[in-house]
């Protein structure tokens, strides 16, 4: 990790510092040509009242990031609130997702509609995989979210019913019609107790969380899916991407300075607690994410800003012509040699083998001294990222390479 800690004397200055760090992170990812999404996120154990995660959309990512196509709404799936404005009619088939707490004293039924009508008139079907575990944990903090199949643990808990009290918690999705909520409260829904666990039921208390109490906010327990309406602008539709987290910024405020007594003297008043920030970019994680994002069937394809070498000169054997081309770049009026990291491939291999290896390594720019060089003194310039392959006279080479370097 590349860590950064910031300290300011007041909230206004701290928020300005936070935004400066965010802009710096945006610039870093833009330099690498990475389509990173800065998502509003949970501060978690770190604390503080504001944080953002920096995510690269990727099919191999562990996180889910939600973003709108019409506004700047970007948020981590863990804290996104599901809209609960629509309801489902009576008679709708209900599904139930089951969980258990870490101490195995609470057995949890999460009731949800299997089909919901969407604002566009279409209907969407839901299953247990659509349940928002973070939303459940906000109601049952000690939920064991690591348990994918709670059934075996339910059975084990039933077997120990005489040893400890068991509470059956029924959580209702806010879309459910009031009559269904009342039915679940009154225990008249047949599946209150899982049928597969038999008719031998232990003595337990039953509670209902959420639903239609006048004092509580309707709950949204189904995760947002691509195509849902944006809760921010109301006009756009949402896209949900799997993503890899590359960085995180936290505004901590006085979360740590208050208990530590970390004070600073300012001219206009008595000593005040410092406003703190904590920020980090995952250097090693970026390397892996970049490799995954840009690689193609030929090999790696590094952004020029972090490539091990920005330009490779490939020639037959240990030809002195490669040195000549390198010196032409270094001595050009454009001073392109000042910004290029050039490597000469002088290994005793065939030209074809070297070119294949250059693709595998992923050099942004490859200069080939092949048939065109032997026939007319022209260098073949290759750039896979921009799909460029053209022959260039030696005198024109610095300008062409400089243009590519700026585009990459």
Among 31-45, 69-83, 307-321, 327-341, the least confident range: 327-341
pLDDT at 34 over 80: yes
The CATH number for 346's domain is 3.40.50.800
Tell me which residue range forms the domain holding 335: 311-407
Same domain, residue pair 118 and 199: yes
Across the range 2-13, mean pLDDT stands at 94
Same domain, residue pair 278 and 184: no
Across the range 263-286, mean pLDDT stands at 91
pLDDT at res. 220: 81
Domains: count for the chain: 3
State which of 291, 319, 345 marks the end of a domain. Answer: 291
Same domain, residue pair 323 and 401: yes
In this predicted model, what pLDDT tens digit does every residue of 289-325 receive, in sequence order? 999 999 999 999 999 999 999 999 999 876 789 999 9
Across the range 64-90, mean pLDDT stands at 86
Name residue 106's beta-bridge partners: 167
Across the range 131-155, mean pLDDT stands at 83
pLDDT at 165 over 70: no
Among 14-18, 225-229, 284-288, the least confident range: 225-229
Residue 243 has which token pair? 């993503």
In this predicted model, what pLDDT tens digit does every residue of 86-125 receive, in sequence order? 678 888 888 888 888 888 878 888 888 898 877 667 788 8
Same domain, residue pair 179 and 106: yes
In this structure, is residue 121 part of a structural domain? yes
Q: Is residue 148 within 8 Å of residue 113, measured between CB atoms?
A: no
Among 180-189, 329-338, 347-356, the least confident range: 180-189
Same domain, residue pair 103 and 186: yes
Among 243-247, 279-283, 332-336, the least confident range: 332-336
Residue 242 has which token pair? 């799997």
Kindly tell me the burial class for residue 393, based on how many C-beta atoms sit within 10 Å of its own C-beta (0-12, 13-18, 19 or more): exposed
Same domain, residue pair 105 and 173: yes
State which of 151, 178, 210 marks the end of a domain. Answer: 210
Q: In residues, how long is the chain? A: 408
- Pinpoint the alpha helices (H) of 175-282: 178-185, 257-260
pLDDT at res. 212: 46
In this structure, is residue 48 part of a structural domain? yes
Same domain, residue pair 196 and 135: yes
pLDDT at 31 over 90: yes
Is 159 or 61 the better-scoring residue by pLDDT?
61
Across the range 236-243, mean pLDDT stands at 93
**Secondary element (H or E) of residue 390:** strand 388-393
Residues 6 or more apart whose CB falls under 8 angstroms from that of 93 comprise 113, 114, 115
Same domain, residue pair 105 and 161: yes
Same domain, residue pair 285 and 243: yes
Across the range 383-387, mean pLDDT stands at 95
Same domain, residue pair 252 and 347: no
Question: Cα separation of 161 and 198, whole Å?
Answer: 14
DSSP string computed for 329-383: HHTSTT-GGGT--EEEE--SS-HHHHHHHHHHHT-SEEEEESHHHHHHSEEEEEE
Is 156 or 361 the better-scoring residue by pLDDT?
361
Residue 227 has which token pair? 């195509």
Question: Cα separation of 301 and 86, whole Å?
Answer: 47
Strands 94-100 and 74-76: unpaired
Q: Which candidate, 139, 112, 137, 141, places its Cα nearest to that of 127? A: 112
Question: Cα separation of 160 and 10, whole Å?
Answer: 55
Q: Which candidate, 127, 128, 137, places its Cα nearest to that of 101? A: 137
pTM recorded for the entire structure: 0.82
In this structure, is residue 218 part of a structural domain? no
pLDDT at res. 325: 92
Mean pLDDT (the chain, rounded)? 86
- The torsion of the CA quartet 282, 284, 288, 289, rounded to 10 degrees, works out to 20
Across the range 41-54, mean pLDDT stands at 87
In this structure, is residue 165 part of a structural domain? yes
Across the range 64-78, mean pLDDT stands at 93
DSSP string computed for 247-264: EEEEEEETTTHHHHT-EE
In this structure, is residue 222 part of a structural domain? no
Same domain, residue pair 74 and 113: no
Question: Cα separation of 134 and 111, whole Å?
Answer: 15
pLDDT at res. 72: 92
In this predicted model, what pLDDT tens digit does every residue of 192-228 receive, in sequence order? 555 655 555 555 555 666 554 545 567 788 888 888 8
Across the range 16-37, mean pLDDT stands at 96
In this structure, is residue 43 part of a structural domain? yes
Same domain, residue pair 99 and 206: yes
In this predicted model, what pLDDT tens digit does every residue of 249-266 receive, in sequence order? 999 999 999 999 999 988
The CATH number for 33's domain is 3.30.930.10
In this structure, is residue 199 part of a structural domain? yes
Question: Cα separation of 12 and 208, whole Å?
Answer: 43
Residue 215 has which token pair? 């004092």
In this structure, is residue 61 part of a structural domain? yes
pLDDT at res. 168: 77
DSSP 95: E
């Amino acid at each position: 990790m590349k860590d950064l800690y910031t300290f300011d004397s007041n909230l206004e200055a701290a928020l300005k510092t936070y935004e400066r760090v965010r802009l710096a992170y945006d610039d870093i990812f833009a330099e690498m040509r990475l389509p990173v999404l800065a998502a509003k996120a949970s501060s978690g154990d770190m604390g503080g009242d504001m944080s953002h995660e920096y995510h690269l959309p990727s099919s191999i990512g562990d996180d889910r990031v939600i973003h709108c196509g019409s506004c700047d709404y970007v948020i981590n799936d863990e804290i996104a609130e599901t809209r609960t404005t629509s309801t489902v009619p009576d008679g709708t088939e209900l599904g139930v997702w089951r969980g258990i707490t870490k101490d195995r004293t609470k057995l949890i039924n999460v009731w949800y509609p299997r089909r919901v009508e969407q604002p566009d008139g279409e209907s969407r079907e839901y299953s247990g995989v659509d349940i928002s575990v973070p939303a459940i944990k906000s109601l049952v903090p000690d939920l064991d979210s690591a348990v994918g199949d709670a059934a075996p643990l339910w059975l084990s808990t039933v077997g120990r019913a005489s040893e400890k009290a068991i509470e059956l918690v029924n959580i209702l999705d806010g879309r459910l019609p009031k009559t269904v909520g009342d039915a679940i409260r009154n225990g008249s829904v047949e599946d209150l107790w899982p049928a597969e666990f038999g008719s031998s039921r232990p003595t337990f208390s039953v509670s209902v969380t959420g639903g239609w109490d006048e004092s509580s906010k309707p709950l949204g327990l189904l995760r947002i899916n691509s195509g849902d309406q944006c809760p921010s602008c109301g006009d756009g539709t949402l896209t949900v991407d799997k993503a890899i987290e590359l960085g995180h910024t936290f505004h901590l405020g006085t979360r740590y300075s208050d208990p530590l007594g970390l004070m600073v003297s300012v001219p206009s008043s008595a000593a005040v607690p410092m406003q703190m920030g904590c920020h980090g970019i995952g250097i090693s994680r970026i390397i892996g994410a970049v490799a995954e994002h840009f690689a193609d069937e030929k090999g790696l394809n590094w952004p020029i800003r972090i490539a091990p070498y920005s330009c490779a000169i490939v020639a037959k054997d240990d030809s002195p012509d490669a040195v000549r081309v390198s010196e032409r770049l270094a001595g050009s009026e454009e001073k392109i040699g000042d910004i290029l990291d050039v490597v000469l491939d002088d290994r005793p291999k065939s030209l074809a083998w070297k070119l294949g290896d250059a693709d595998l390594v992923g050099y942004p720019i490859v200069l080939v001294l092949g048939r065109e060089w032997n026939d007319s003194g022209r260098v073949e310039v290759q750039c896979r990222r921009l799909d460029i392959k053209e022959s260039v006279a030696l005198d024109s080479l610095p300008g062409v390479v400089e243009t590519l370097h700026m585009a990459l």
